[in-house]
Every structure is written in C-alpha cells, then in structure tokens.
C-alpha cells in the first residue's frame, strides 16, 4: 500500500468536464488510476472517457464510492470544491490550482486538519506511485522516466521534479511514491507531515527532499529528523541558491525575507540533521547510493 494512492484507490474527479479535467483524467486512467466518477454542476448524465458525471460530490458518492478526490477547478472555486469533498467524507484530496487566495488556503488547511484529512497542493503536479496510480498532471511519457521502487520523494518544485526523479532512477533506484506538496505559500500538507507517512511505510527505504528557497518546510523536516521522528536516511537538493533576498522566484512560496528562508540556512539545517545535500541535481543519485551504503534496513537495489 502506497502512502497516498495505489491501484485500489477509487478516485473522483471534480471539474472533469473542463479541458484540463478531461485531458488529465485520460492520463490518470492510462497510468492505472481507478477513476470512478466525475463532478461538474449542471453536467450530470454526461460521460468523460467512460466516467459518469454527477452534479455534486454527494450524488457521485451515492452511486460510486470514492476514497480520494482530484480537483481540476480554478483557484477561486478551490475552497468550495475542497469543502464539498470534505463534507462528503473524502479524506484524500489533490488540487492543482495555482494562485488560491492566501486566506482561503489557510481555511483549507485548517479544515483539513480539523477532520484529519490530507489536502495535497495547490500549485502542484500531484501524487504518483509509479506502476500503480497517479493523481495530478504527470504526462503518460513519464512512465519512461519514473520506475517503481523504494525511494519516497517529496517536492516543492515542478521544474526540478522530473529531472531529479530521472537521476534517482538512473542511479539504479525506483520511486515508491512522489508527493508534490506544491509551491504556494500555504500548502495543504507540509514536508514534515509527508515524512511521517513515509516513516511508517514498509515500502519506502529512504527519502529524497526537493526543496527551494522560502518558507520553513525544509527546516521543519530537519527538526523532525533530528528529533528522531523520521529515521529513514535522506538525500536532498535545494533550488534557488543564487536568488536575491526579497525577490520572489517562480511562485508564491519561493521568496526570502528578513534573513529567513534562504537556501544556505536550509542546507545547514538539513546537513546538521544528517541529510546528504547535493550541490547539483545530477548528484542526487550518487547521494542516495552513499546513504544506502551506510545501511537502510530491507534495502535491495532494483
């Protein structure tokens, strides 16, 4: 069982009839995801790639039980869509919307924590367990890049993810689950929370953290490792090393201010916690080899 999604997870797609929803639903199905229903108000009775569409999440669940919700809705509608899924009892949600209003992102995270749910995103490519299923926007050709295995990957970056994942595979490893927490200032789920899931996953032997400047997620990850809350060996790469202070780089979460959130501080915290931090993306695979040589219980190269 993967930490978030596997071949048995029944997925409902909110916004399935839109261009993005329809396009990526077809890719999700091709990747093995069991998409059981879609939701678009006013479009009940339609079918998208053979998937039945309903007016509401509750009506979809009355006909087709679902374990997770994939949201392809604009940022201004994301909060309502997340709340509808939560109110209907769904506890695993992925939203790819970029630019969710900050106060609404805070409300989403608060609501999810209150009902013990996981909301991944916004501003993310999603979640993938290679060879099993995916929720998000990973193109079909990604099957040639990602291979199933026993390395858990967490990432804030969209642009670096595929490159580093390919380096992991080229080094002879595979990926158990990759979670894109998203690049916004307030993600629904943070690195340290994902790490706790990987810690209890028997199918994950080691971790790769793909971070960047801004925020405190990497420092929180370092604190968790240092405290013994995550015992699995980890390698990392952080982007944005040359970014000037106070200038946003790429997206809302990638900004340093007041001396906080710099890559230098994050690298120091991770190294102090025992994480092997690569200087370049191409070194991540070698870093993994080094930490695995030190010993990870149950590890076996692919």
For the domain that residue 153 is a member of, what is the CATH number?
3.40.50.261
Kindly list the distances between the CA atom of residue 94 and the CA atoms of 4, 90, 128, 165, in Å, as whole numbers in the listed order.
10, 11, 11, 20
Do 160 and 116 share a structural domain? Answer: no
pTM score, whole prediction: 0.91
Q: Are residues 149 and 273 in the same domain?
A: yes
Q: Which pLDDT score, from 0 to 100, does residue 17 have?
A: 98
Domain that holds residue 28: 1-123
Whether 291 contacts 231, CB under 8 Å: no
CA distance 211 to 206: 16
Do 10 and 109 reside in the same domain of the chain? Answer: yes
How many domains, the chain?
Answer: 2
Q: Measure the N-to-C terminal CA separation of the chain; round to a whole number of Å.
A: 19
Q: Which residues are catalytically annotated?
A: 251
Q: Looking at the structure, do residues 41 and 173 belong to the same domain, yes or no?
A: no
Distance in angstroms (rounded) separating the CA atoms of residues 212 and 222: 14
User: Do 43 and 77 fall within a single domain?
Assistant: yes
User: 282 and 215, same structural domain?
Assistant: yes
Q: At residue 165, what are phi and psi to the nearest 5 degrees? A: -60, -40
pLDDT computed for residue 300 by the predictor: 41
- Beta carbons within 8 Å of 43's beta carbon, 6+ residues apart: 17, 53, 55
Tell me the mean pLDDT per 10 residues along the chain, length 302.
89 98 97 97 98 98 96 97 98 96 97 97 95 92 88 92 93 96 94 97 97 93 97 94 57 50 91 96 95 62 40
274 lies in some domain: yes
CB 126 within 8 A of CB 68: no
Task: Please tell me whether residues 150 and 118 are part of one structural domain.
Answer: no
Residue 138 lies in a domain: no
C-beta separation of 93 from 78 below 8 A: no
Nearest to 270 by CA among 259, 278, 280: 278
In a domain, 287, yes or no: yes
Query: Which CATH number covers residue 110?
Result: 3.40.50.720
The tens digit of pLDDT for each residue in 15-24 reads 999 999 999 9
């Amino acid at each position: 069982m993967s930490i978030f999604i596997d071949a048995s997870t029944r997925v409902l797609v909110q916004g399935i009839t839109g261009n993005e929803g329809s396009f990526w639903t077809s890719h999700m199905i091709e990747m093995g995801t069991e998409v059981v229903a879609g939701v678009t108000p006013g479009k009940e009775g339609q079918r998208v790639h053979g998937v039945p569409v309903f007016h509401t999440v509750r009506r979809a669940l009355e006909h087709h039980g679902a374990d997770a919700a994939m949201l392809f809705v604009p940022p201004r509608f994301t909060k309502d869509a997340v709340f509808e899924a939560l109110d209907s009892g769904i506890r695993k949600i992925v939203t790819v919307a970029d630019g969710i209003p900050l106060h609404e992102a805070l409300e989403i995270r608060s609501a999810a924590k209150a009902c013990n749910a996981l909301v991944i995103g916004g501003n993310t490519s999603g979640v993938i367990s290679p060879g099993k299923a995916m929720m998000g926007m990973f193109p079909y050709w990604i099957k040639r890049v990602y291979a199933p295995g026993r390395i858990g990957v967490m990432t804030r970056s969209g642009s670096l993810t595929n490159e580093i994942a390919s380096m992991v595979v080229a080094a002879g490893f595979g990926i158990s689950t990759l979670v894109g927490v998203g690049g916004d200032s307030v993600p629904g789920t943070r690195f340290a929370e994902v790490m706790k899931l990987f810690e209890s996953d028997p199918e994950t032997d080691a971790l790769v953290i793909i971070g960047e400047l801004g925020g405190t997620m990497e420092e929180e990850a370092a604190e968790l490792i240092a405290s013994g809350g995550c015992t699995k060996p980890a390698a990392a790469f952080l982007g944005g090393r040359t970014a000037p202070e106070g200038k946003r780089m790429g997206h809302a979460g990638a900004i340093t201010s007041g001396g906080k959130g710099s890559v230098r501080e994050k690298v120091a915290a991770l190294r102090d916690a025992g994480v092997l931090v690569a200087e370049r993306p191409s070194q991540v695979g070698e870093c993994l080899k080094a930490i695995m040589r030190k010993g990870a219980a149950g590890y076996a190269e692919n």
